Amino acid sequence: RRPPVEDPSAHVRKVTPGDHVDKLKPATIAALNTRLAPILRDHGYG
């Protein structure tokens, strides 16, 4: 069961698809997408 509010100190954290958009800067997401593109593509993402 997901907690409604994330507690960064807790072992179980809120995990919601797309939540990375609220946590990471757009430049960080772009850099990760570029660096991981071959792996993401191999697994059907993108």
Chunk the chain into consecutive blocks of 10 residues (it has 46) and report each block's average pLDDT, rounded to whole numbers.
75 76 92 96 90
14 CB-near residues (< 8 Å, 6+ apart): 2, 3, 4, 5, 6
Give residue 46's pLDDT.
Answer: 73
Q: pLDDT at position 14, please?
A: 67
What's the Cα-to-Cα distance from 15 to each of 1, 5, 7, 38, 45, rounded to whole Å?
10, 10, 11, 25, 19
